[in-house]
């Protein structure tokens, strides 16, 4: 069974195949209305289940539109619709869904939910996000970097902010694709050990630099993410803002990066918090290319999982 659960357990050659296919599929759709099918419809006759325990904009729309463009039908389900893991075990849900659909994408909280779904499903399972990782985002981010600047191997990437799930997948990608990654954020929000160990064991140890300007010096890519979650309390939000304010990506910080550096943010963004509008709408920013590329990356991931 070909699941896409994380960058860390996907071989480099497979990641590269997804990136190449995503770029080719994007080029083939140039200028075409979004609702029209691709020239190839490799998912014709397939049913794709899209499960959302956590709400989403880009993940939901990109998977839904992408599956439809490739000829599939989609079924969008919330955790409340299914009572996932409450009224029925996740294992039993996986077994039942496998009788109805050809592919499952799940966006959930706990990594264990994802892995139990994959263990008991008889169809491929895709990680649409967990609290620990967000591999689909990183496929889109690497695709975006490479369409603007060429191969990401040996590029200098700096992450400013919280060592969260998206950063974890960046660390996995550094190990798989061979780029240098620096984390710049407060010690209280350092990344978890596992992705740091993975990158180090792959020969690309992540550098930690507390001073944001030093961390960004000469960077080819600067990345930020939201400082707060929709589930954070007001007290937690205030604490995070106080910790992360020195890591805001603004024009003064970007001035330390390479002249042709790119800026990315996976969105949604809280403008004037993790990044200023001057940067987000400025010449370094590729955030909307990055958002669009979720569509093409998701399509490539689905095709890879189904072997079509």
Of 72, 61, 80, 86, which is closest to residue 124 (Cα–Cα)? 72
Burial string for 97-114 (b: 16+ CB within 10 Å, else e) reads bbeebbbbbbbbbebebb
In sequence order, the 6+-apart residues with CB closer than 8 A to the CB of 12 are 176, 177
- Is residue 268 reached through a cis peptide bond, with omega within 30 degrees of 0 on the bond before it? yes
pLDDT on residue 234:
80
Place of tokens 């690309």: 204
Catalytic residue numbers?
Answer: 107, 134, 137, 225, 266, 294
Regions of the chain short of the pLDDT cut 70: 85, 230-231
Q: Are 208 and 182 in contact (CB under 8 A)?
A: yes
pLDDT on residue 88:
87
Q: Where are the alpha helices (DSSP H) in 70-184?
A: 79-82, 90-100, 111-120, 135-149, 165-177
pLDDT on residue 87:
76
Separation of alpha carbons 74 and 287, rounded Å = 27
Place of tokens 């809280």: 270
- Is residue 73 reached through a cis peptide bond, with omega within 30 degrees of 0 on the bond before it? no
Q: Which two tokens stand for residue 174?
A: 């550094």
pLDDT on residue 81:
79
Q: What is the arrangement of strands in the sheet containing 103-107, beginning at the earlier edge strand?
A: 73-78, 47-52, 103-107, 125-129
Place of tokens 């996932």: 84
């Amino acid at each position: 069974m070909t699941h896409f659960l994380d960058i860390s357990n996907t071989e480099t050659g497979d990641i590269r195949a997804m990136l190449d296919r995503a770029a080719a599929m994007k080029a083939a759709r140039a200028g075409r209305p979004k609702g029209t099918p691709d020239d190839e419809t490799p998912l014709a006759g397939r049913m794709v289940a899209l499960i959302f325990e956590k709400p989403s904009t880009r993940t939901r729309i990109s998977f839904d539109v992408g599956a439809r463009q490739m000829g599939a039908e989609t079924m969008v389900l919330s955790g409340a619709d299914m009572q996932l893991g409450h009224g029925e075990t996740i294992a039993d849900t996986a077994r039942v869904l496998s009788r109805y659909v050809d592919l499952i994408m799940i966006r959930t909280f706990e990594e264990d939910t994802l892995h139990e779904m994959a263990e008991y499903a008889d169809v491929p399972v895709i990680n649409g996000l967990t609290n620990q990782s967000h591999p689909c985002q990183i496929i889109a981010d690497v695709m975006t970097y490479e369409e603007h600047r060429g191969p990401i191997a040996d590029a200098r990437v700096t992450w400013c902010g919280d060592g969260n799930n998206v950063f974890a997948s960046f660390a996995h990608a550094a190990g798989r694709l061979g780029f240098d990654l620096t984390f710049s954020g407060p010690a209280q929000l350092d990344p978890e050990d596992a992705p740091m160990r993975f990158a180090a064991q792959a020969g690309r140890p992540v550098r930690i630099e507390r001073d944001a300007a030093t961390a960004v010096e000469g960077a080819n890519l600067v990345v930020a993410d939201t400082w707060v979650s929709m589930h954070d309390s007001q007290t937690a939000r205030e604490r995070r803002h106080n910790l992360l304010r020195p890591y805001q990506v603004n024009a003064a910080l970007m001035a330390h990066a390479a002249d042709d550096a790119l800026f990315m943010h996976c969105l949604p963004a809280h403008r004037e918090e993790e990044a200023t509008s001057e940067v987000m709408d400025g010449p370094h920013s590729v955030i909307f290319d990055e958002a669009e590329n979720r569509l093409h990356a998701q399509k490539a991931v689905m095709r890879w999982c189904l072997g079509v």
